[in-house]
Structures are given as C-alpha cells and as structure tokens.
Structure 1
Amino acid sequence: MRALSLEIALEVVLRRQEREVLHRQQQLAAAKLAAAHAIATHAELQQEAGDASAEQPLIGLDAIQSQLEILAKELTGECLAVMPGGAQSQESLDASRPLDEDAMRRGVTLLTLYQESVRNDPASLDYARWMSEAGGQVRTAPILPPRLLIFDRRVAVVPIDPAHTRRGALCTREPAIVATLCALFFQAWETAIPLGAAGSSDRISPTEKELLKLLAGGLTDEAAAKRLGVSLRTVRRQMSSLMERLHASSRFEAGLKAAQSGWL
C-alpha cells in the first residue's frame, strides 16, 4: 500500500471502471450473439417440424376457435364452408359473425353451403340472409358433405369425427387433401340452390324430393331425418303432406305416383 496524489488516484479508479465497463459490454455482445443463434435455430426446427407434418389436430372448442381466428385473419381471397345439420347453434353464429364480417370487409369471397332445413330456423336463416346482403354467397341443398372449411384453397379444417364435431378437428395443409375437399365442395355447390332463388315449379321442394329418394332407397324415417338434418317429426310431417298431395293411401302407392309424376 502506498499513498498517491488525488489526481493519480482518481485516474487509476477511472481506468479500472473503464475496464469493467468494457468487460460488461463484451459479455453483453456475446450474450446477444448467443440469443440470436438460439432464436434462429429454434425457428429452423419449427419450420422443419412444420414441413414434416402438414396436419395439426385441434382438440377442444377453444383450440378450434383459436385456430379459426388465426386462419380468418390470414385470409386473402376465398373461404369455402359447408355447414350441415340444419339449424346452427346461437353460439356458433355469434362466434362466426365477427370473423365473417371482417373477411367480407377486406374483400374476401365467402361461399357457404347450408342444409335446406336451415330455412326453417329463423336465427340461422337471418344469419344466412345477412351474409348474402353483406356480399357473401349462400346456397342450400337437402344433403351436404360433412362439415368443412377451406381457406384460400390452401388450408382445410374438418372434424375428426363428423358425427361428433365437439371431439376435435384436423387442420391440414396437405395439397392433395385440400384439392380433393375443394372438388367435393364445388360438386355440392353446383347442384345447390341460391338462398334467394324462387321455388321450383315442380310443386315439390328439393328436401321433399330428396326425402322420397331416401325412403325409396330403403332408409328408415330416422336415417332419412339424420341425412336431411331435420327432426323425425319433420320427416313424418313432410311424408304425410306428400301422401296427401299425391292422393296416396300408403307409402308404396306414394312412391309409384311420385315416379309417375317425375318427382323421382
């Protein structure tokens, strides 16, 4: 230990602090470099994982809704939707409205297929009319493919189990699968009826005609109701009306007269 003048002592202390600051700066620069390397490596691994698997399971309603929100935000051109089952739940309509509204505002084309029986549900019918008035295109058909959504013909979301949609969904980007689902959609779209189209002059609705075909094919009332997305009571009421209009005393006679009238 030795005594120094004030000037020399201050200079020594300042140099020591400068060395410490320089050392910290070097450590910080090394840490930044390591972090950048780690982030780049992580991104590469994620991309490789994504390329290796074009399918993503979505388990639970929250996971499905979150993914749909992301896909809706990324939409740039077109969304194709098949919504079977007739009447849609109010929960589903409320969740879909802001996404559809935002997409149409951005110029996205929405093509939606509903089951013919949706015309009997005021809430679902109002929603379909709102979509049409806002710029979307809506058509209905007596029988539809399983529920599906296709975003920009690049990504498709389908239920894991079409009979129990709450079990989860599958989000796929596999080109062959998406192309097949697009073909299935447009096959149904071409034969569907625009929402605002006038009724046919055949004196029979598309749903009634399809009901006759299903029953003539051997399906029970219960099975026909499930295929048409209506209740068993509705099927029996429609069949009773058809028999009355055909002046038939039995379903067998109704089938014969329907064929003679060109309804089958």
Structure 2
Amino acid sequence: MFGQVAAGERHHGVIGRRYAATVLHGLGLSDVDESVYRSVLRRRPGSIAELARTLELSRHRVEKAIQHLRALGLLQPGAPGQPPTAADPEIAIPVLLRQRHEQLEDVTTHLPALAAEHRLAAFGDAHHQAVEVIVGSEEIRHRTAALAATANEFLIFDRPPYAYDPSGEVEGELPFLERGVTIRVVYDSTALQDPLRLANVRTLAAHGEQARVLPKVPLKLTIFDQHTAVVPLTREEVSESVALVHESGLLDALLALFETLWSSAPVLDRPHDTAPIPPEDADLLTLLAMGVKDAAVARQLGVSIRTARRRISGIMDRLGATSRFQAGRESERRGWL
C-alpha cells in the first residue's frame, strides 16, 4: 500500500496535495479526514462518488471521514446523495480547540490518581507508595520536567551547592512565570553571595517570582502543586538520586516546614528606607514584637484603634512584611529594634 501511495504521489498531483498539509492533526483529524474537509471547504462540486474519485479514495473511506467531520461539527449535512457543506472554520475550529483543551485539563486532574496506580503496581504495597527513589541524572531530569510541565505552583527551598551555570536561570524559569505558575522560593543567604545569581533572582522577582531569604535553609526542596515533593538524597552538586515524596504524612510535614519558614522569612531585598524611624514607630514595632493586641497598642500610643491599625499596616508595608512576626524579624535585621 505504501508503494502505491508513493507512486500515486509521483503521478497524481491530487494525492500530493492531499497529504501535503496536515495541520489539523491536533484536532484529531487523520490525513483522509483533512483531505475530505479541505476539498469540501473549497466547495468542489459533485456527488460523494465524484468527491471520492477526485481524492482517489474509496467511497466508504470518504463517507467515514464525512461522518467523523460531522461529529466534530466541521461539516454540515448536504442534500441527499450530495456532499456536505463546510461549517465556518473561524467558528467551528475554535469550538473544537476549547473542547480539546477541556479534555486535556481533565486528563491533568487525573494525573495524581494515575501516578498512584503506577506506584502501587511498581511497589506492590500501598504502604510503600509515599516515597519513590529515582536514580540517574537523566531519569531525574525527565521526571522533574514532567512534573513541572503540568504544575500550577512551585514551592522551593534553594541552597548551594549548584550543578548548573546561573547564566541560564532566568531563561529557564521565565516560561513558567509567563504561563501563570505561582513560584515561591525561600533562598539560603549563601545562595545570593554570587552577584550574578542575586541579579537573576531580582530579575525573576520583577517578573512575578515571590522570593524570600533566610540565613539558613535546611535542605533543597521543590514541591509541585502540593502533591509531589522532590528531595535530593545526597549533598553533592549533582545528586544522582532523589526522593519523590507523594501524598502522605511525610509530604504534609514538608509542606508545613515550607510554610513555617516562608512566614518567617523577609521579602528578598525589597527597597526600603534607610533613614531612622520616628520614635513613635519604634515604640509601635516594640509593641508588635511583644505580640500586643491592637486595642492595647492603641492605648499605649494614645490613639484610636483605627489609627493604630492604619499605622501598623503602614509600617508593615514599609518593611515588606506579611505578618507581625515577620515585621519584627525584618526590623531586627535593619537594626530598628
């Protein structure tokens, strides 16, 4: 059959055109489907039999393609014995694209369950599903890339040593930020001693990465969509083995650790005033660091609760803090307390 098709392409321009532009495969169309669709789209006259002869296909194959194209909404019924007419592609094709997108999204939501079935089959015991050990740099890259490709959130602990050149960091992460992925990173302060890496982090933060820093981060960690964590099992620059931690009590503990350190870490190098703060703001920070409630703060400062809350909000904005505990830590770092 392949020899016949090849010969036909040499001697008949129709077949050459028939397979020349298969741009609709992504919508589930075969070569024959697209050939029939394009022919009808060009409004070639004649019956189904004539259409089959023109395309050098059997009538059965043409009728089967027409049936499929009608089911997709690309063709509309014609008169009895006559070929169908084409729906407006600017209307029909976007509808199909939305349907395919919804189908792909549905598949994505089932990935965790499918992965759990795979782990169960691989390990044979549900009690050993929580941790999967991946060995080999190529396999590690393959598995982490697959997780990243479908994830909507990355939670990361970043610390040395590194196996890669920092010059490619921005280009590697920007596509995820542009796709709308939420990326929260807690950096170990030693990671930012390299001026190039610090510049990269500032660039990524300007594009939407949420970056914070602590004097020490306990481990390297990446959690995808809060359902799979990647933890290197060695301290070398290139780890030849990692643990994939799936939904379990262990993953819950890693998530809790991330959120605890995230809440206590100051925002990375946010521009701020270096001038001394007014004495009344120093008093306010001291009260906040002591955990004093709003009403007591208002009484101590001799202002209304509304005014106290406004001043608390203002000083937290100035510090780039999202919690009072973080405001206290950032004030200490700046030498305000």
TM-score w.r.t. structure 1 length? 0.52
Structural mapping, 1:31-50, within 5 Å: 46=118, 48-49=120-121
1:57-108 per-position Cα deviation (integer Å, ceiling 9, x unaligned): 12122222111110100102x110001227x4543663x5455222212211
The percentage of counterpart residues that share the same residue type is: 27
Question: Out of 155, 174, 185, which is 1:80 matched to?
Answer: 155
8 Å Cα contact 1:148/1:157 also seen in 2: yes
Question: Out of 138, 141, 145, which is 1:69 matched to?
Answer: 145
Tell me, in whole angstroms, the C-alpha distance in 2 between the residues paired with 1:184 and 1:167.
Answer: 25
Tell me, in whole angstroms, the C-alpha distance in 2 between the residues paired with 1:190 and 1:93.
Answer: 29
Tell me, in whole angstroms, the C-alpha distance in 2 between the residues paired with 1:72 and 1:45.
Answer: 20
8 Å Cα contact 2:158/2:191 also seen in 1: no
CA drift of 1:179 comes to 1.2
| 2:227 is aligned with 1:132 | no
Gaps of 5+ in 2: 1-114, 277-334
| 2:165 is aligned with 1:91 | yes
8 Å Cα contact 1:79/1:152 also seen in 2: yes
1:100-124 per-position Cα deviation (integer Å, ceiling 9, x unaligned): 2222122111001111123321121
How many pairs does the alignment contain?
A: 161
RMSD (Å) for aligned C-alpha atoms: 3.4
Tell me, in whole angstroms, the C-alpha distance in 1 between the residues paired with 2:225 and 2:146.
Answer: 13
Q: Secondary structure at the match of 1:135?
A: coil
Tell me, in whole angstroms, the C-alpha distance in 1 between the residues paired with 2:236 and 2:251.
Answer: 21
Q: Aligned residue for 1:184?
A: 257
Larger RCO of the pair (alpha carbons < 8 Å, separation 6+): 1
8 Å Cα contact 1:75/1:103 also seen in 2: no
Structural mapping, 1:85-234, within 5 Å: 85=160, 88-91=162-165, 94=168, 97-162=170-235, 166-198=239-271
CA drift of 1:164 comes to 6.8
Gaps of 5+ in 1: 1-42, 204-261
